[in-house]
Amino acid sequence: MEYIFSDKLASMKPSAIREIFKSLADPTIISFAAGNPSPLSFPAEEFGALAADIFANHSTAALQYGTTEGYTPLIGEVDKRLESKFNIKGDGDQTIITTGGQQGIELACKALCNEGDTVVCENPSFIGALNAFRSCGCETVGVPLSDDGINTDELEKTLEANPKAKLLYLIPTFHNPAGITSTLENRKQVYEIALRHKVIIIEDNPYGELRFAGEDVPTIKSIDTEGIVLYCSSFSKILSAGMRVGFIRGPREVIQKMVIAKQVEDVHTNNFFQMLCYRFITEYDLDAHIEKIRELYRNKCSLMLDCLDKNLPACIKYTRPEGGLFIWCTLPDELDAKEFVQRALVKKVAVVPGATFNPDQNAPSQSFRLNYSTPSDEAIIRGVEALGEVAREMIK
């Protein structure tokens, strides 16, 4: 039998990150390629205690079908936290629980875009989101990311040039892969531009709780008076990635359409873990737990930056994140980025090539992404030394 695939999926390949992950089966390789949270961030002991109670005393609710919107008490806690930590409120909005933050992004695109529509993204952007938009048959168009956020002049031009642009996808805080946080001034400008062009913003904020330096910047959602921002996030980086519990909040009318789309994808998100999240939030100190994660990443990021300062030649630039999981390195034009990544792998250090994150799938990139949350301190020191060796070998 010769199989004929749908147009939107026929050209899609497994992501380059997955291919790199295969090389990670070699335990001698130091991986800066992952996007995983540190296992030290998982509250396994507390989850164990709560699980014992749920299976003993609330098993029917945990193991039976639930509602597509999610476990109501958890939604209540999410809404409380969005208001207290991110100044996100508003009666016209609704929050639903999604199977990881990823599902919220995909459902938004499915509800709002036809095949052939355009999703405008920062360049670089999160590969999982880019592929979600592509899987809906949408074109992804990138707008350069500067130190203070997406380039607003270029954003304006891009939206003018793309009348089929329906969504603007942004990771304003501790950007993946770029590690930068946009300024409030940038956020206000971006919001005004999107509103003028009647484009819905997806504000993806999975790392928002992971600030380890500097001051919080208000979310775009918190300045949204016209109902054009969908805000999505998850518990993946603060409780567990493997449980797949996230959420999305936005105008009720849009969220209701996403509920229909979610129902046909997976009916609802795992009930037991929705209850577990609710119980953890209400019975333990989530803020104290997050503070421990921040401390851990503060130290790891600081160590990696120190190593980069010490080992990399000045011609290689990199971001200095105030939170999140990633540092973004950019090579000077005279160094071949593909060769750099290849040579690093020969020296047993895996990084993710920047082209992976380019909304334009055929464009090259002079950058690569480094993750500091997963590797050990020793791996960070040795791995960055190896990257320095590669740079010096290529420059001479």
Q: Which of residues 195-254 bind a copy of itself (CB under 8 A)?
A: 198, 200, 226-228, 236, 240-244, 251, 253-254
* Alpha-carbon distances of 224 from 7, 200, 202, rounded to whole Å: 36, 11, 12
Which tokens is 39 given?
Answer: 């296992």
Phi, psi of 125 (to 5 degrees): -145, 170
- Side-chain-side CA neighbours of 311 within 13 Å: the count stands at 19
Residues 367/333, Cβ–Cβ less than 8 Å: no
- Residue closest to 293 by CA, chosen among 372, 350, 218: 372
Q: How far is the CB of 243 from a copy of itself (least distance, A)?
A: 6
Is position 375 an interface residue for a copy of itself (rule: CB under 8 A)? Answer: no
Give the x/- contact pattern for a copy of itself in 52-91, rule: CB under 8 A: x--xx--xxxxxxxx-------------------------
Among 45, 215, 334, 378, binds a copy of itself (CB under 8 A): 45
Q: Any alpha helices (H) in 197-285, and if so which ranges?
A: 252-266, 271-283
Q: Scanning residues 128 to 147, which ones bind a copy of itself (CB under 8 A)?
A: 128, 131-132, 134-135
Q: How far is the CB of 329 from a copy of itself (least distance, A)?
A: 23
The size of the interface with a copy of itself (CB under 8 A), counted in residues, is 81
- Residue closest to 167 by CA, chosen among 141, 131, 135: 141
Is position 44 an interface residue for a copy of itself (rule: CB under 8 A)? Answer: yes
Angle at 130 between CA 125 and CA 134, to 5 degrees: 160
Q: How far is the CB of 175 from a copy of itself (least distance, A)?
A: 19
Nearer CB in complex with a copy of itself: 125/131:
131
Distance CA 272, CA 277 (A): 9
Q: Scanning residues 9 to 28, which ones bind a copy of itself (CB under 8 A)?
A: 9, 12-15, 18
Q: How far is the CB of 110 from a copy of itself (least distance, A)?
A: 7
Q: How far is the CB of 179 from a copy of itself (least distance, A)?
A: 20
Helices (H) and strands (E) in the chain, counts: 14, 14
Is position 288 an interface residue for a copy of itself (rule: CB under 8 A)? Answer: no
Using DSSP, state whether 23 is helix, strand or coil.
helix
Nearer CB in complex with a copy of itself: 23/263:
263
Distance CA 51, CA 65 (A): 18
Nearer CB in complex with a copy of itself: 232/312:
232
Bond preceding residue 313 cis, omega within 30 of 0: no
Residues 230/249, Cβ–Cβ less than 8 Å: yes
Is position 378 an interface residue for a copy of itself (rule: CB under 8 A)? Answer: no
Contact residues for 3 (Cβ-Cβ < 8 A; gap 6+): none
Q: How far is the CB of 235 from a copy of itself (least distance, A)?
A: 11
Nearer CB in complex with a copy of itself: 2/215:
2
Q: How far is the CB of 366 from a copy of itself (least distance, A)?
A: 27
Nearer CB in complex with a copy of itself: 79/265:
265
Is position 357 an interface residue for a copy of itself (rule: CB under 8 A)? Answer: no
- Residue closest to 353 by CA, chosen among 385, 376, 331: 331
Identity of residue 77: E
Nearer CB in complex with a copy of itself: 3/362:
3
Q: How far is the CB of 251 from a copy of itself (least distance, A)?
A: 7
